[in-house]
């Protein structure tokens, strides 16, 4: 593993870990010494992650699951409590783009999916895992957001609204935790070479967009017991 052992002995949960930023984040946290609990719907992507982390000498537990399942998040929290008794790091990365179209044309199915993954699932993660973060000596939570939540771009109504809601949710939770040991922040990773971005900007040259790995050092930093920032929107490259 890397010589950076800043997260040695810590337990980290990463959602959406089968590809993109979540995949890269899981590897980076494991490389820093954390035991990673990796969740995603795509079993194949998780198995590839397991191979990569194990080959590098890291430690990972795979949890194939759909965040929209009625009680999946809550059952996961119960399992984490039973096995580890705490959670040190929560990285809520899983996201749904939906369809880019005029607001008046967005079908209910798209609204339900985007809001469920981008807003309701993080709210359920907070409810299920705050008690376990409190069991940590330095609980850390990072929620992936986007500049689109503030730009209110045309055709991005569902995605932008869900991320704006996420920011309000996380900032409110952070205010509730003020003065405690838990640190909660939002991360705007900026442009990244991911499958979601390819769907959103199909004409873009992917080679012109940074890889997700360029953002992971910042996530490791925000996950560290030494991190002091709280209730902030941290933007990569700033």
70-89 pLDDT tens trace: 999 999 999 999 999 999 99
Per-residue confidence at 206, pLDDT binned at 50, 70, 90? low
**What's the DSSP call for residue 61?**
E
Cα separation, 15 vs 87, whole angstroms: 14
Percent of the chain topping pLDDT 90: 79
Identify the CA nearest to 180 among candidates 231, 221, 134.
134
Domain count of the fold of the chain: 1
| Residue-wise pLDDT tens digits, 129-186 | 999 999 999 999 999 998 755 567 888 899 999 999 999 999 999 999 999 999 999 9
Is residue 5 domain-resident? no
> How confident is the model at residue 94, as a pLDDT?
93
> How confident is the model at residue 99, as a pLDDT?
86
Is residue 57 domain-resident? yes
Is residue 187 domain-resident? yes
35: domain range? 11-235
Is residue 168 domain-resident? yes
Is residue 226 domain-resident? yes
Per-residue confidence at 191, pLDDT binned at 50, 70, 90? low
Is residue 228 domain-resident? yes
**What's the DSSP call for residue 146?**
-
Cα separation, 148 vs 190, whole angstroms: 10
Is residue 177 domain-resident? yes
Is residue 171 domain-resident? yes
**What is the mean pLDDT of the segment spanning 89-113?**
94
Q: Which residue has the higher pLDDT, 30 or 198?
A: 30
The structure's pTM equals 0.92
CATH number of the structural domain spanning residue 42: 3.40.50.720
Q: Give the residue numbers annotated as catalytic, written as ranges.
A: 159
Which stretches does DSSP call E strand in the chain?
11-14, 35-40, 59-64, 89-92, 140-144, 183-188, 233-235
> How confident is the model at residue 147, as a pLDDT?
72
């Amino acid at each position: 593993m890397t010589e950076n052992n800043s997260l040695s002995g810590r337990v980290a949960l990463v959602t959406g870990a089968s590809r993109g930023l979540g995949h890269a984040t899981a590897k980076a946290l494991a490389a820093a010494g954390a035991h990673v609990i990796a969740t995603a719907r795509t079993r194949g992507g998780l198995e590839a992650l397991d191979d990569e982390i194990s080959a590098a000498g890291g430690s990972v537990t795979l949890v194939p699951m759909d965040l929209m399942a009625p009680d999946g998040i809550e059952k996961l929290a119960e399992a984490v409590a039973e096995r580890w008794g705490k959670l040190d790091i929560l990285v809520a990365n899983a996201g749904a783009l939906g369809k880019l179209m005029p607001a008046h044309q967005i079908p209910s199915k798209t609204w339900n999916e985007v809001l469920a993954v981008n807003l309701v699932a993080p709210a359920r993660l907070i409810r299920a895992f705050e008690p376990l973060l409190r069991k940590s000596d330095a609980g850390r939570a990072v929620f992936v957001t986007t500049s689109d939540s503030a730009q209110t771009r045309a055709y991005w109504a569902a995605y932008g609204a869900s991320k704006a809601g996420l920011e309000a949710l996380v900032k409110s939770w952070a205010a509730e935790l003020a003065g405690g040991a838990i640190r909660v922040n939002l991360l705007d990773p900026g442009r990244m070479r991911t499958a979601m971005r390819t769907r959103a900007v199909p004409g873009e040259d992917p080679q012109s967009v940074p890889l997700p790995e360029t953002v992971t050092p910042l996530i490791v930093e925000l996950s560290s017991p030494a991190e002091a920032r709280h209730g902030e929107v941290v933007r990569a490259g700033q």
